[in-house]
Structure 1
Amino acid sequence: MANNFDRNITREDLMRRRASLLQRMHIDGQLLFILLTIAATGLFVLYSASGKDWGLVIRQAVSFGIGLTGMLIIAQFEPRFMARWVVLAYVGGLVLLGIVLVAGDGAKGAQRWIYIPGVIRFQPSEFMKLIVPMMVASYLGSRALPPRLKHIVVALALAVVPFGMILIQPDLGTSLLIIASGAFVLFMGGLQWRWILSAVAAVVPLAIGMWFFVMRDYQKQRVLTFLDPESDPLGSGWNIIQSKAAIGSGGVYGKGWLQGTQSHLDFLPESHTDFIIAVLGEEFGLVGICLLLFLYLLLVARGMAITYKAQSLFGKLMAGTITLTFFVYVFINIGMVSGLLPVVGVPLPFISYGGTSIVTLLAGFGVMMSIHTHRKWIAQG
Structure 2
Amino acid sequence: MIRDLLGSLRGYPVKQPESGISRRKTIWQRLHIDPWLVAMLLLLMSAGLMVLYSASGESSHMVIAQAVRFGVALVVMLVLAQFSPSSLMRWALPAYLVGMLMLVAVEVLGDIGMGAQRWLEIPGLVRFQPSEMMKLAVPMMVAAWISRHELPPSWKVLVGCALLIGLPVVLIARQPDLGTSLLVTAAAVFVILLAGLSWRFIGFIVALAGAALPLLWINMHNYQRQRVLTFLDPESDPLGAGWNIIQSTTAIGSGGIWGKGWLHGTQSQLEFLPERHTDFIVAVLGEEFGLIGMLAFLALYLLIVARGLWLAGSAQDTFGRLLGGGIMLTFFIYVFVNIGMVSGILPVVGVPLPLVSYGGTSSVTLMAGFGILMAVHAHRRLLPR
RMSD: 1.4
From 66, 71, 79, the counterpart of 2:72: 66
Q: Given residue 56 of structure 2, which amino acid in structure 1 is its aligned partner?
A: S
Pairing of 1:228-307 with structure 2 (within 5 A): 228-307=233-312
Pairing of 1:95-114 with structure 2 (within 5 A): 95-114=101-120
Q: Which residue of structure 2 aligns with residue 35 of structure 1?
A: 41
SS of 1:111 mapped into structure 2: strand
Alpha-carbon distance between aligned partners in 2 of 1:371 and 1:307, rounded to the nearest angstrom = 7
Q: How far off is 1:309 after superposition?
A: 1.1
Fraction of identical pairs, as percent: 58
SS of 1:329 mapped into structure 2: helix
Unpaired segments of 5 or more residues in structure 1?
A: 1-15
Q: Is the 8 A contact 1:136 1:158 kept in 2?
A: yes
Q: How far off is 1:303 after superposition?
A: 1.1
More displaced stretch, 188-197 vs 22-31: 188-197
Pairing of 1:320-339 with structure 2 (within 5 A): 320-339=325-344
Q: Is the 8 A contact 1:156 1:183 kept in 2?
A: no
Q: Given residue 319 of structure 1, which amino acid in structure 2 is its aligned partner?
A: G
Q: Which residue of structure 2 aligns with residue 124 of structure 1?
A: 130
Q: Is the 8 A contact 1:281 1:288 kept in 2?
A: yes
Report the TM-score when normalising by structure 2: 0.92
Alpha-carbon distance between aligned partners in 1 of 2:117 and 2:273, rounded to the nearest angstrom = 25
Q: How many residues get paired?
A: 362
* 1:150 lines up with 2:156 in the alignment: yes
Q: Which residue of structure 2 aligns with residue 372 of structure 1?
A: 377
From 308, 314, 319, the counterpart of 2:324: 319
Report the TM-score when normalising by structure 1: 0.93
Can you list the C-alpha shifts for 1:44-97, whole angstroms capped at 9, x where unaligned?
000000001111111111110000000000000101000012100100000011
Q: Given residue 357 of structure 1, which amino acid in structure 2 is its aligned partner?
A: S
Q: Which residue of structure 1 aligns with residue 58 of structure 2?
A: 52
**Structure 1 stretches of at least 4 aligned residues deviating more than 3 Å after TM superposition:** 16-19
Q: Is the 8 A contact 1:253 1:288 kept in 2?
A: yes
Alpha-carbon distance between aligned partners in 2 of 1:377 and 1:93, rounded to the nearest angstrom = 34
Q: Which residue of structure 1 aligns with residue 206 of structure 2?
A: 200
Alpha-carbon distance between aligned partners in 1 of 2:24 and 2:274, rounded to the nearest angstrom = 45
Alpha-carbon distance between aligned partners in 2 of 1:71 and 1:377, rounded to the nearest angstrom = 24
Q: Which residue of structure 1 aligns with residue 139 of structure 2?
A: 133
Q: How far off is 1:19 after superposition?
A: 6.4
From 334, 348, 352, the counterpart of 1:347: 352
Can you list the C-alpha shifts for 1:151-201, whole angstroms capped at 9, x where unaligned?
001012111111000000000010011111111111000012222111110
Can you list the C-alpha shifts for 1:204-245, whole angstroms capped at 9, x where unaligned?
221110111x10000000000000000000011000000000
* 1:174 lines up with 2:180 in the alignment: yes
Alpha-carbon distance between aligned partners in 1 of 2:185 and 2:247, rounded to the nearest angstrom = 31
SS of 2:355 mapped into structure 1: coil
Q: Which residue of structure 2 aligns with residue 361 of structure 1?
A: 366
Question: CA 1:19–1:279 in structure 2 vs 1: closer, same or farther (change >3 Å)?
Answer: farther
Alpha-carbon distance between aligned partners in 2 of 1:328 and 1:271, rounded to the nearest angstrom = 20
SS of 1:169 mapped into structure 2: coil
Q: Given residue 374 of structure 1, which amino acid in structure 2 is its aligned partner?
A: H
Can you list the C-alpha shifts for 1:218-273, whole angstroms capped at 9, x where unaligned?
00000000000000000110000000000000000000000011111110000000
Alpha-carbon distance between aligned partners in 2 of 1:208 and 1:18, rounded to the nearest angstrom = 60
SS of 1:353 mapped into structure 2: coil
Alpha-carbon distance between aligned partners in 2 of 1:125 and 1:192, rounded to the nearest angstrom = 31
SS of 2:266 mapped into structure 1: coil
Q: Is the 8 A contact 1:80 1:377 kept in 2?
A: no
Can you list the C-alpha shifts for 1:6-49, whole angstroms capped at 9, x where unaligned?
xxxxxxxxxx9996111011011011001100000110000000
Q: Is the 8 A contact 1:278 1:337 kept in 2?
A: yes
More displaced stretch, 93-102 vs 186-195: 186-195
Alpha-carbon distance between aligned partners in 1 of 2:271 and 2:333, rounded to the nearest angstrom = 29
Q: Which residue of structure 2 aligns with residue 10 of structure 1?
A: none
Alpha-carbon distance between aligned partners in 2 of 1:320 and 1:141, rounded to the nearest angstrom = 14
Alpha-carbon distance between aligned partners in 2 of 1:198 and 1:248, rounded to the nearest angstrom = 40
Q: Which residue of structure 1 aligns with residue 229 of structure 2?
A: 224
Q: Which residue of structure 2 aligns with residue 9 of structure 1?
A: none
Alpha-carbon distance between aligned partners in 2 of 1:347 and 1:354, rounded to the nearest angstrom = 8
Q: Which residue of structure 1 aligns with residue 31 of structure 2?
A: 25
Q: Given residue 345 of structure 2, which amino acid in structure 1 is its aligned partner?
A: L
SS of 2:347 mapped into structure 1: coil
SS of 1:262 mapped into structure 2: helix
